[in-house]
Amino acid sequence: MATGAEQRNGLGIRREKPWLLPYNRKLRNVISISLRNLSLSPSLSSRPRGKTIDDDALPTTLISPAKLVALREKKSLGHSRSSSDLRRVPEHAISVESESEADGHVNGSPRKHDANGSPKTPSRPSLAKMRRRSTLEWANASPQKRQEKLENVVADKMADVFFSLHVPGVEEPIYISEVVATTMNPTFQSFDLSLASPGTTRLDRFNLRLWVKSSKWQSWRQLVDFSVQLSELQYLGKHAEEAQRPLPPNAVLFYLLDGVYTLHSSLSDYTPTAAIIPPIGRSNSGRTMGTSSFDALLKLGKLDDSIQDALEARNKLAKDLEDLINANREALCERDQVTEARDRLKTIEYAKKTVAKQMEKAQRQKSEKTSTLANRRELMATDLELRAKRRLEIRQSTDSLPSEHAQQEHLRKNIESQRRRICEDLQVAYPIKPIPGKTLAFKIRDLQLPNSDDLDNESSDNVAAALGHVAAVLQLLSFYLAQPLLYPLTPRGSTSTIYDPISLLKPSATSAARGTDKSQILLRTYPLFTRGTPRFRFDYALFLLNKNIQVLLETTFHVRVLDIRHTLPNLKYLLYVATAGEGELPARKSGGVKGLLRNLENADNFIQDVSDPFNPNFGKHWSAAKVAEVFAPKQESRDGVVAWLVEHGVDVRRIGHSVGKNWVELNATIGEAESLLQTKYHYYKHQNTDAYRLSCDSYGVPGHLKEHIDMIMPTVQLDGLEPIKNARPALQAPSPITGLSGTKNCSTLITIECLRALYGFPAGSKNHTSNKMGIAEWADYLYYPDLDPYFANWTSPQIPKGIRPEFISIDGGKHSNLTVAQAEEVVESALDFQTAYSIIWPQQTRLYQNGDSVNVDSVGTFNIFLDALDASYCTYQGGDQPYIDPAYPDPNEGGYTGPLQCGGAPRSNVVSISYGQIEAALPRFYQERQCHEWMKLALQGTTVVVSSGDSGVANRYNAGYNNSCVNSDELVSIDLATRYCDRITDELCIPYITSVGATFLNSNNLQDGESAVADPDPANALDDYYSGGGFSDVFEVPSYQKKATQHYLKHYAPNYGSKVFNNSGLARGFPDISGIGLKVATVYLNKTYGVGGTSASAPIIGGIVTLLNEERLAVGKGPIGFLNPVLYSHPWALNDIVNGSNPGCGTNGFPASPGWDPVTGLGTPKYEELKKIFLSLP
């Protein structure tokens, strides 16, 4: 008796039960489908069941006499069967009565009797559903005819087949199979529907459509369309071979997890046959069945005789061949041996020739090398003689070298002294003196020469005479300074001229017709007087004269001219520099920063020591005390500055020092400052904001203090522009997606599931107390009520309600409220913190809220953040400057009244900043000094990630100008300028931070990768969103980045020229790395929006670095610290982004390219690769 999952059918055959209950059968359980007995059309045979095909096709002339008699007697004939169907009649198919009922025998066989006792004729066996094959039409057919018939059978019975699955409510099929070609019983490949949506895989009903194409059809046709109810399928067995039943045409088999099923529509054809034919064998009765056709049996007998004859002939031929081979085996072996010997002989002869050629070649080479060796020996002997002579000469000249050096130095000093004496004589001969009461107004030899824009206020004769004096001075300076003038001068008093040999000038038709050199010289000669000449030629001559002064200053003394139009001020400055001795140039010579700090020249070496992955000191970060000690200023610097102030009458009690001893503070009046610095202060008004700044045009300090003083504030600095956040809130409409849904909607809304799938980082699992991630905010505030709905709907694992960051208030930083939130001043902070929390939880965050939001007339707000971290970097006492950095206590109404926070803020291992400033907005030395503070944080193990900006190579909407690019000369931000205004001031330019660009998905399929973000605004081009990137005009390329930037400039950079961007190959490039920066899920006022901006990219990268720090801390190692050297030495650990660009300033910007590029940097992170690298480092 069958047990468990087995049972027996009516025939006694064991069959397993299905373990999937009917109501448990779902679409996800279907793993394959096959088709059996393909039929392209239904059977329409009209032949009576009592006849065979032969009966219909047989001509009456061929019917045998016996069959004619049978037909006349109307006796039904049984089916004849071909040789393949001749088999014994099964025992159970013959109706045999019990022997006890038999009462007679005929020829020794039992005979049955009817009811009346008369003998009963034995009945023919029941051959239900037995058909003999028709072979009559094939009997005498030619091979060609047989081939044609076989091809017709294939064409009628076989076809190309595939199927498709459809579910209600979905227009497109959920699965389309492969095509099985030329088949009657296609078995299709297995498939997995579990990847479809849960709503689809849980269905128990679907439609199956079979599509066929045969040789008769030129297109696909739908053969059947089954509506399949999985719960109603019939189980056939574990395997299709176990189904002990014939299959009807177009039988569909479904392979589920527990076995094979079929449709109900075919069950009537699947009923087990009562007369299943057993294997061929001898029956117990010993009876044999006769055939119903004598012709067929006759043919069969003849065929058997032919087969036996053929077999006998084959055996005889095989025996004869074997005897023949044995008889000649010796001769055959000899033949083979002769052939092998000939082959060996040919091989030996070929090898002999080859060796002979090689020997001949070797002999030639030997001769050549012998000759070469002899020549070399001669040359070496000659060289040894020459070296001996040179050594003797060197020994002789070494003795006289010190005296020659002394003579050279003495000659150099004499030349410089002579030049100084000549220049001093020039100052006496051509005195240039300021005009009292007028700013930047001077006269030469008592002739007033206004600046270029005020020439009409003076008589033309006086102007011409003054310009003649200027031309004479420049001519003499060019000679004595050995510096040729770019534009040669001809001093002739009030009729002096200047020649332009460079410009491309188109001569007039008359001059061209004459074709003389004299006409060309006249055309290129411009007058330095206005009488009798066109005004435009005079204006151009004055421009060339001023250009000569600029060239002399820049090429000879490396001094930059602030305004080329100031003729006499610049000439006065040139004479002043030329007469000064060595090291006595004014402080405005360059913007470099040395300052009171010492060891700054070794800063790069210090950083590389703790950040280079190939250095054994990697990760051995410095303490704050060590940083302060190493970079403390020299004592002689402080003492020298204080002594200078005291000498000028400043009471020592009015002099103070910063905590770090790197600033000297002096409270002085304007008059005292002007006298001390030999300058004049003025108020300057901003052309757009109407803000006033106190500044001067130049100032001077004693030569012996030049190397000890970085800057004096306030002096020549003007204001910049307010730092702006980088978030681009897409607040037009909330997202229709209300919660996590895997990765199927990533192109619509970026969630934590999308980020994990894209970059391969896991959910956070650790919470080290010293590893809180810091996020700095300025003009935006975190609205706490938006955190809880974000935690509930958009985090996995879900963050508990009520989690809040550690709040660090810096200089009056305050919490948000509903009024601020409704003014959309919270989206930036929401984006930063919600994104970071979803990545690093259960790790915590730290909010640095900077500023009181009242003192907004200052732009250097990054300094107040650094002040709070470093006590030595505070206000006048450490690094801040009035009018650039906000002053605290805030004098504005409602401002923060407490003192400037100087130290005390906790330092985080990772700090994410989504704010920035353009490079042209702040003084060069201000940026460089701030750069040193970021360097100190890097030495202490802090990773600083900063967003690269959202305006491509420009800085449009967040700079306060309509098109914030800069001009190519003064690098001033003005309207309609064309030079890239790279947004890299303060952070991005600095070689000690990590700049982060933005990308977006190419499609909803994460495998399609990312491109540089591009989100143009059709309503306002100034709000177009592209990833910020470019090259600095201030900071040099760091050693770790040099190869990457130079490779890009050589192979991929656009040919815009140096007036559009710094293409020298020596500039710091940015960004360094990128992350997703578009459509990032953010909750604002309890609604979900897709927010874009590099402000999203920065906290994503910061969160990933925090996870990496967690892994290092868990194994007893320190935080990563400065990230860049590791990234640039392992570029394969990032996904290279090669698509996209960052347009701006009237150009297409930079294109993304293989390797590093100024759009997406090195690419986006591969977490597992980075984890392996950082865990392998000390």
**Largest CA-CA distance found in the chain, in angstroms, rounded:** 167
Instruction: Name the DSSP class of 706.
Output: G
> Is there a catalytic annotation at residue 1010?
no
What span, in angstroms and rounded, lies between the C-alpha atoms of 531 and 472?
20
Handedness of CA 525, 531, 537, 543 (dihedral sign): positive
Helix (H) or strand (E) run with residue 213 in it:
strand 205-213
> Is there a catalytic annotation at residue 933?
no
Selection from 645, 561, 623, 634 nearest residue 597 by Cα: 634
Q: Judge whether 427 and 575 are in contact, CB under 8 Å.
A: yes
Check 1095, 1097, 1141, 1153 and give the catalytic one. Answer: 1095
- Determine if residue 31 is labeled as part of a ligand binding site: no
What span, in angstroms and rounded, lies between the C-alpha atoms of 175 and 165?
5
Residues pairing with 1074 in the sheet: 997
Burial class (CB in 10 A: 0-12, 13-18, 19+), 437: exposed
Q: Judge whether 925 and 591 are in contact, CB under 8 Å.
A: yes
Instruction: Name the DSSP class of 917.
Output: B
- Determine if residue 786 is labeled as part of a ligand binding site: no
What span, in angstroms and rounded, lies between the C-alpha atoms of 898 and 130?
109
What span, in angstroms and rounded, lies between the C-alpha atoms of 1084 and 801?
16
What span, in angstroms and rounded, lies between the C-alpha atoms of 176 and 162?
8
Check 54, 832, 852, 870 and give the catalytic one. Answer: 832
Q: Judge whether 222 and 45 are in contact, CB under 8 Å.
A: no
Distance of CA 866 to the CA centre of its chain: 32
- Determine if residue 1155 is labeled as part of a ligand binding site: yes
- Determine if residue 1157 is labeled as part of a ligand binding site: yes
| Three-class SS of 31-67 | EEEEEECCCCCCCCCCCCCCCCHHHHHCCHHHCCHHH
Amino acid at 221: R
What span, in angstroms and rounded, lies between the C-alpha atoms of 1154 and 1052?
9
Selection from 778, 946, 773 nearest residue 846 by Cα: 773
> Is there a catalytic annotation at residue 675?
no
The backbone torsions φ and ψ at residue 1116, rounded to the nearest 5 degrees and listed phi first, read 85, 15
Distances in Å between the Cα of 37 and the Cα atoms of 42, 157, 190, 248, 929 are: 12, 9, 20, 7, 86
- 593 Cβ neighbours under 8 A, 6+ residues apart: 600, 710, 711, 925, 928, 929, 932
Q: Go through 736-764 and write b for each residue having 16 or more CB atoms within 10 A of its CB, e for each that does not.
A: ebeebeebebbbbbbbbbbbbebbbbeeb
Selection from 523, 561, 520 nearest residue 540 by Cα: 523
Q: Go through 458-472 and write b for each residue having 16 or more CB atoms within 10 A of its CB, e for each that does not.
A: eeeebbbbbbbbbbb
DSSP 939-992: HTT-EEEEE--SBTTS--TTTTSSS-EE-TTT--EETT--B-----BTTTT-TT
Selection from 455, 700, 698 nearest residue 470 by Cα: 455
Burial class (CB in 10 A: 0-12, 13-18, 19+), 70: middle
In 826-926, which ranges are E strands? 845-850, 910-913, 915-916
What span, in angstroms and rounded, lies between the C-alpha atoms of 146 and 154?
12
Angle at 167 between CA 166 and CA 172, to 5 degrees: 55
Catalytic residue numbers? 828, 832, 1095
Q: Could you tell me which residues are annotated as the binding site for Ca(2+)?
A: 1136-1137, 1155, 1157
Q: Could you tell me which residues are annotated as the binding site?
A: 1136-1137, 1155, 1157
